[in-house]
Amino acid sequence: MVKFPTRLHPALCALGLLLQYFAFAQNLTDSQSSDVETRLAEGATHPWELGTRAQAILEHNVRAFSVFSLNIPSTSVPSDSSSAIAPVLSIAKGVVNNRTASNGNITGAQPLVADDSAADPASIGPAVLLANWTNLGDGVDYAGAALDQLNFLYEKVPMTSDGAISHRTGELQLWSDFVYMVPPFLAYYGLLTNNQSLITDAYTQIKLYRNYLRDTSSGNLWAHIALGNNSNGVANDPGHWSTGNAWAAAGMLRVLATIQSSSFASDMSSEQDDLANWVFEIHAAMYPHLDTSSNLFFNYADEMNTFLDAASTALLASTVYRLSLLRSVHHYLPDAEKCRETLFMSNSSGLVHFSSDGWLTPVVNPDYFSAEGSDSPESQAFILELQAAWTDWVNDGSQGANGGSKTGSLGGGTIIVAVLSVLWMLLF
């Protein structure tokens, strides 16, 4: 065992504090973000991955065209944004051009992509609506494809008796993932066509899903999958899947931002209040389960025998910054900051939670939600969304950094302690 001279102890202590300070200052470099984006582009192939990738690119690279800018987007893309938005429009074009072939050349109500999930193809809907809106002039019928997707959801997909649209085509089954895939599309369709009933239905679908999936006996964590009976290959899953809780919170915030951007905002204040409260409800249910030694969530939030998952940790943290920005609800910011600092932490060999080529780790397998996986495209999108939400929050003055109390700033305090410790180290 190595024995240190005792006078080194303060120096080591100072070094530790300095390292802690640099961990606080942690941020992805442009080249690290670009690796994350490249891996996402390579990996995203499933419908929900394409939709999530499009949304992450808008939030991270083309802020003026993301719903979080709280504007109706411009109908023309400024030339300095055209290369940033190109991958989003290219997802829309690829999907719409291939649509009828993938659906067996049918006409009328149909999903954007043939899939067992009724919800996932709709996640690409906002990109398709944006392609129509910005008038690419390439002769592709984006508006027709979006309308067919909308009609498909209402006309061809099973519904509960109270109107919740199924997440699956083959049987009536409700997944928490749905909240990110469908309501943001309905709301965005309503925003761009000035149709309040669609925006209202985005809200109503969320309300219905919450009724089915919120588990009051677990302190309001959402169950992952309700109803259905495995006739379609997926049994229901009453467990509290962390990514599902994060999907739900993130979908609600997109709808909330869309309502705020619309001409119906003042008319829909109680809907906005509900959405904000339901996001907060998920934060309040989830954060007590954050594993304090890793600052990550378990794959099933309240099942400590499941593996640790950085994907859900990233997406949920992004929703804390978004809720703070949209509604000045700051309570869970210190938790989100802890998670972000952990995820973006480096040691001398680079980012601790990423592979050398930029894949987030450890992550749930995106194709098999109860197993640990690697190289998860959705987790790459979550990182961009986290980086974007945090950056927007910093640019807005980091309001509520201490969780809403009036005094104290951890960052500043840490700097002072680190500086004093260095002085101590130099003196002795």
Ligand X SMILES: *[C@@H]1O[C@H](CO)[C@@H](O)[C@H](O)[C@H]1NC(C)=O
Binding site for ligand X (CB under 6 A): 27, 29-30, 75, 94, 98, 101-102, 104-105, 129, 132-133, 135, 143, 146-147, 150, 171-172, 192-193, 195, 197-198, 227-229, 231, 347-349, 352, 391, 394
Nearest to ligand X of 276, 333 (CB atom): 333
Q: How far is the CB of 396 from ligand X (least distance, A)?
A: 11
Q: How far is the CB of 198 from ligand X (least distance, A)?
A: 5
Residue 224 phi, psi (nearest 5): -80, -50
Q: How far is the CB of 319 from ligand X (least distance, A)?
A: 18
Three-state secondary-structure class, residue 406: coil
- Whats the size of the chain, residue-wise? 428
Distance CA 63, CA 78 (A): 12
The region that residue 307 occupies, defined by phi over 0 for left and psi between -120 and 50 for alpha, beta otherwise, is beta
Nearest to ligand X of 300, 382 (CB atom): 382
Nearest to ligand X of 94, 413 (CB atom): 94
Distance CA 425, CA 125 (A): 58
Q: How far is the CB of 424 from ligand X (least distance, A)?
A: 25
Residue 38's nearest CA partner among 389, 377, 346, 387 is 377
Q: How far is the CB of 7 from ligand X (least distance, A)?
A: 25
CB 148 within 8 A of CB 96: no
Nearest to ligand X of 77, 172 (CB atom): 172
Distance CA 254, CA 70 (A): 10
Nearest to ligand X of 115, 281 (CB atom): 115
Distance CA 259, CA 191 (A): 8
Nearest to ligand X of 37, 281 (CB atom): 37
Q: How far is the CB of 22 from ligand X (least distance, A)?
A: 13
DSSP symbols for 304-346: TTSPEEHHHHHHHHHHHHHHHHHH---TTHHHHHHHHHHHT-E
